[in-house]
Amino acid sequence: MMTVTKLIEALQELEYEYGDAEVRLAFQPSWPLQFNLSRTIVSPLDLEDEEEDDEPAEGDEPKRSIVYLAEAGQPYETPYVPGVVSRALGWR
């Protein structure tokens, strides 16, 4: 499972020259597609709990949060992940 900490560590390992690189989501290993990302939001794990403003009762475990990355459509040049990327991900 990818966590925010693991993602930050992976990004920090990239060389400084990649700071302006686009971030895309590679999806569906059997037919590799790619998507642009538009925004990020954080939401509690229990999305059906409508009373998020309530203080947790004593002894309740704190809720875990999930970071959602919203897709913004496929890149203009091609919807598919390049073969070299697909192989590097171990998908082919």
- Strand-pairing partners, residue 71, are 37
- The model's pTM is 0.68
User: What value does the mean pLDDT take over residues 39-49?
Assistant: 74
- Is the CA virtual torsion 8, 2, 88, 34 positive or negative? negative
Q: What is the pLDDT of residue 14?
A: 86
Which pLDDT value is given to residue 19? Answer: 83
Per-residue model confidence (pLDDT) at position 92:
86
Distance of CA 87 to the CA centre of its chain: 20
Q: How far apart are CA 27 and CA 75, in angstroms?
A: 13
Residue 35 gets which letter from DSSP? Answer: E
Between 19 and 30, the higher pLDDT residue: 30
d(CA 41, CA 66): 8
Confidence at 16, pLDDT banded by 50, 70, 90: confident
